[in-house]
Structure 1
């Protein structure tokens, strides 16, 4: 019986060894397949990109999600400082092939609510931009933009600086000397207002006088207007008289010219007759000198002159 029992024990040990060996080999195969699948299985389905951040990446972790307008398109596979510029952080992203990553796509850090966990958000502004591709074998780089918290922090810092400057200027403006000057200005303004109130009655009287003066001036302008109308009428009368005198002078001149012309014509005729008479008288005197007896007896005949027939 002891031999039978020992034989059964040996067979049981062999079966456990075979089962254990099979389990070990199966587990190793599964682990190896999983490693291969994780390392090489999805290389054709994802494209590697890089993003350089100038702000803190606190809240981001390896395997953090990469979203394109809220849709999961990849993961963050690596985060490290840039050796040449430690102020920047280099992120390596694996993004699903076919995602519309273009030259104008921008990456920024977003956070899930109040948990503090971050992810990368991708946004593009134009569908006509060319696709972002690798050049000279280098990994393509997606440009980054500041996150909302970074912009808020920058805005608050700038606001704090400007507030400090404004408070400093207000402090300079409200120093003791300026406060005293301001107090004096208020006192003088109070005195000026009191004096203006006293002069209000005089100002009212002055305004009333000004109204009366304006009425008188208006009446004077009306009288001047009437006088101007009279002057205008007189000027028209003078003009009419002048026109009549001109017409009368012209008519008188024409009549005088006509009469003088007649007088000159008669005077010319008279002068011609006087010339004829003087020639005849001269001829008679010559004849008398030649034959004085002819004046009584008419005996002699005058000698013919040159070119006359006897």
Structure 2
């Protein structure tokens, strides 16, 4: 009877231990979610990405990586199989991107929605739908850095070609010519400065006023000259009339007309002579006006030395 009691206790203990183990496994394993498989296709390097890596949708953990292999139809492609919860609304516009977590270097796949095609991506367990992976930030930086270094290398090669020995000699000669031209221009600039100073002195208020006065006097002088020319023209017309009259009366009146013509011509010649003499003695009178006559005896400012 005692043996039966021990056997019953042992069996009960085994049953309780099995139930506890089952509960522990169930609790540790958590609830199982329904998932669907998708294949991420990429041609880029996926260093740091391993099976069981996380899959995140807009930052939320929604699945894991189950397999990584080469595409048997095109070895340039890498096929990454991911298992994603069926509650995630993937569309045909969904793309994948390789992202890195912190400073550990562990990679995970980040699913992003572009919004270009909102048609739902229907799961298929036999032929899982494919999702395209775009270059990550590090890949873009690497490509940009490589292109930048290539351009910098080309720029340095062009600079070396431009600064060859022959071009340096030409540049040195050009700088020497510029220096010589600058040195030769300095006296001209100094003379120009002096000329500008003299012009500034010449065009002071006093000289400008004298110039205005001279311009006012040139008008009457030209008017007198026009009158003299008119009188000479009249004298010439009279001479033509006198010579062209062939009658007796005209012949008899020729001498008085000639006398009158000679008198007019003499008067006109004297006036013209006076004008030309004034211009010859003081040609600046055309611009600054006729010079003032020195004061005579009894006038203010008269001096004997000035009269001499």
Alignment TM-score, normalising by the size of structure 1:
0.55
CA deviations 1:182-237 (Å, max 9, x no partner) are: 11111111111111112112223555688779x99xx79xx79x98xxxxxxxxxx
Q: How well do the aligned residues superpose, as a CA RMSD in angstroms?
A: 4.3
Q: Match for 1:98 among 87, 95, 98? A: 87
The structure whose Rg is larger is: 1
Tell me whether 1:56 sits opposite 2:45 in the alignment.
Answer: yes
- Give the SS at the match of 1:199: helix
- Distance 1:179-1:121 versus aligned 2 partners, 3 A rule: same
- Distance 1:134-1:17 versus aligned 2 partners, 3 A rule: closer
Partner of 2:102: 113
Q: Match for 2:54 among 58, 65, 74? A: 65
For the 8 Å contact 2:98–2:107, the answer to whether it is kept is: yes
- Distance 1:189-1:16 versus aligned 2 partners, 3 A rule: farther
Tell me whether 1:78 sits opposite 2:67 in the alignment.
Answer: yes
- The whole-number CA distance in structure 2 between the counterparts of 1:136 and 1:75 is 16
- The whole-number CA distance in structure 1 between the counterparts of 2:52 and 2:16 is 31
Tell me whether 1:178 sits opposite 2:170 in the alignment.
Answer: no
Tell me whether 1:141 sits opposite 2:127 in the alignment.
Answer: no
- Give the SS at the match of 1:178: helix
For the 8 Å contact 2:93–2:117, the answer to whether it is kept is: no
Q: Match for 1:203 among 192, 215, 230? A: 192
- The whole-number CA distance in structure 2 between the counterparts of 1:117 and 1:103 is 27
- Distance 1:138-1:148 versus aligned 2 partners, 3 A rule: same
CA deviations 1:21-46 (Å, max 9, x no partner) are: 9799x59x96xx98xx99xx54xx21
- The whole-number CA distance in structure 2 between the counterparts of 1:52 and 1:88 is 6
Partner of 2:119: 130
CA deviations 1:115-151 (Å, max 9, x no partner) are: 1111001111329722222589632111211011111
Q: Match for 2:141 among 152, 162, 166? A: 152
- The whole-number CA distance in structure 2 between the counterparts of 1:74 and 1:145 is 19
- The whole-number CA distance in structure 1 between the counterparts of 2:8 and 2:50 is 47
- The whole-number CA distance in structure 2 between the counterparts of 1:16 and 1:188 is 116
- Give the SS at the match of 1:49: strand
Count of residue correspondences: 208
Q: Any gaps of 5 or more consecutive residues in structure 2?
A: 220-308
Q: What does residue range 204-283 of structure 1 map to in structure 2 within 5 Å?
A: 204-205=193-194, 207=196
Partner of 1:46: 35
Alignment TM-score, normalising by the size of structure 2:
0.55
- Distance 1:59-1:181 versus aligned 2 partners, 3 A rule: same
- Distance 1:177-1:19 versus aligned 2 partners, 3 A rule: farther
- The whole-number CA distance in structure 1 between the counterparts of 2:101 and 2:62 is 17
